[in-house]
Amino acid sequence: MSDPVSASAIPDRTTPLVAVRDLSVSFVSRDETVRAVNGVSFDVMPGEALCIIGESGSGKTVTMRSLMRLLPKHRSVIEGGISVAGNDIQALDERRLSQLRGSLMAMIFQEPMTALDPVYTIGEQIAEVVRRHTHATRPAAMARALELLQLVKVPSPERRLKAYPHELSGGMRQRAMIAIALACQPALLLADEPTTALDATVQIQVLILLRKLQKEFGMALIFVTHDLSVAAQIADRVAVMYAGRMVEQGSVREVLLNPRHPYTIGMLSSTLHGRVRGQDIETIPGSPPDLRALPPGCSFAPRCSRAIESCSAAVPAPIVLSPGHDVRCIRTQDQPAPFSPASTLAVS
């Protein structure tokens, strides 16, 4: 086993840990091609938390899985460049890739009910990843598993070590999942809607825990969610995805307080936070485009109230509004949005 890259091995905080360039993913079957991700580019600095926001089917999860090359090999076509800590993920051989998975980068999944192997104990599943990436003996790995369960604040960890997943609650399972992900102190943690399946009270606990551990370990975090208040809680930067494209990205403050893309604006105004009782919630008319037949130009144009003819001519290039805040909308310059819907969102 070669050296597992840990967070401490990358002291340089000026070069991005993750660099994704023009990533496109399509799922090919005999009858159709589904274009799930269409030219996504972003960077994540070491220790930074990026939140990818978007509705179901916008390509958030697919983007995440391609970072770890977890998509089905023979059915997906991945184009573009993905680099994590200098490793070209696309070009790695299976052996090297599996060495990096779990040690350099780890992933937490949406459904804690199904993401753990039902016939192995929690302890066995944590110890397994420890043993995979270090030379730890079985008892040493189990001791480390206990430490990790304490770290993620699982009550009576000694007992949980011997428990099977079905004997734990959803929140506890997600904590165990986090323990597995953190076992080898990865430099990059990918979290795919890790709180969506949890009860509201448990959600906030898990979120706070994640944020705390991320700061403690100096991990970079990519957090996928469709919940804006979750994004406000955890993110340094936010990227908004729509129909497989990133329509707007910037610092959490910029994007939530000064959104410029019509889709971001629409999404923010359809949240419930701070609304006056009785006032109607604004919704975005229409529905997302069919990923098998994307409209030409801006994918949001058919639903956009500000769309003009040239919106459908070509995919808009990113317009840099301020360093780190860019928008893919050709109408941005024409009409600066006076809208500030998120003033009541708690932006940390």
Partner 1 sequence: MYLALLLRETYRTSAGVVANPMWLYVIRRILLAAPIAIGVTVICFALIYLAPGDPIQSLLPPEATQADVAYLKQVYGFDKPLPVQYLKWVSRATVGDFGTSIQTNRPVLGEVRRALSHTLIISIGAALLAFPLAIALGTLAAFYIGRPPDRIATMASVVGISVPNYWLGIVLIIVFAVELGVLPASGMGPQGSDDFSLTQWAQLKYAVLPVLTTALVPLGIIMRSTRAAMADVLSQDFIQTLRAKGLGQGAVVRHALRNALPQVLAVMGLQFGYLVGGSILTETIFNWPGTGFLMNKAILTRDIPMLQGALLVLALSFVSINLAVDLLQTAVDPRVKRG
Q: Which residues pair with 188 in a beta bridge?
A: 105, 220
Placement of tokens 């795919």 in the chain: 192
Closest CB to partner 1 among 188 and 267? 188
Closest CB to partner 1 among 36 and 240? 36
Closest CB to partner 1 among 189 and 268? 189
If one asks whether residue 92 binds partner 1 (CB under 8 A), the answer comes out as no
Task: Report, in Å, the least distance between residue 66 CB and partner 1.
Answer: 13
Task: Report, in Å, the least distance between residue 189 CB and partner 1.
Answer: 11
Task: Report, in Å, the least distance between residue 119 CB and partner 1.
Answer: 5
User: CA neighbours within 13 Å on the CB side: how many for 97?
Assistant: 14
If one asks whether residue 132 binds partner 1 (CB under 8 A), the answer comes out as yes
Distance CA 159, CA 151 (A): 15
Handedness of CA 68, 73, 75, 79 (dihedral sign): positive
DSSP states of 141-170? HHHHHHHHHHHTT-SSHHHHHT--GGGS-H
Per CB under 8 A, the segment of 20-28, 127-135, 203-211, 302-310 that binds partner 1 is 127-135
Identify the three-state secondary structure at position 62. Answer: helix
If one asks whether residue 133 binds partner 1 (CB under 8 A), the answer comes out as yes
If one asks whether residue 102 binds partner 1 (CB under 8 A), the answer comes out as yes
In the window 175-234, what residues touch partner 1 (CB under 8 A)? 177, 180
Per CB under 8 A, the segment of 47-55, 97-105, 194-202, 256-264 that binds partner 1 is 97-105
Using CB under 8 A, pick the residue from 119, 276, 281, 317 that binds partner 1: 119
Task: Report, in Å, the least distance between residue 107 CB and partner 1.
Answer: 4
Angle of helix 170-182 versus helix 200-217 axis, rounded to 10: 10
Closest CB to partner 1 among 82 and 246? 82
Task: Report, in Å, the least distance between residue 57 CB and partner 1.
Answer: 18
Contacts of 8 (CB under 8 A, 6+ apart): 185, 218
Binding mask 19-58 for partner 1 (x = CB under 8 A): ----------------------------------------
If one asks whether residue 63 binds partner 1 (CB under 8 A), the answer comes out as no
From the list 26, 19, 82, the residue with the least C-alpha distance to 45 is 19
If one asks whether residue 101 binds partner 1 (CB under 8 A), the answer comes out as yes
Whether the Cβ atoms of residue 104 and residue 220 lie closer than 8 Å to each other: no
DSSP states of 249-301? EEEHHHHHHS--SHHHHHHHHTS-TTPPTTPPPP--SS-PPPTTSPPSS-TTG
Using CB under 8 A, pick the residue from 63, 103, 185, 251 that binds partner 1: 103
Residues lying near partner 1 in the complex (CB under 8 A): 65, 68, 70, 74, 95, 98-103, 106-107, 109, 111, 114-121, 128-129, 132-133, 164, 166, 177, 180
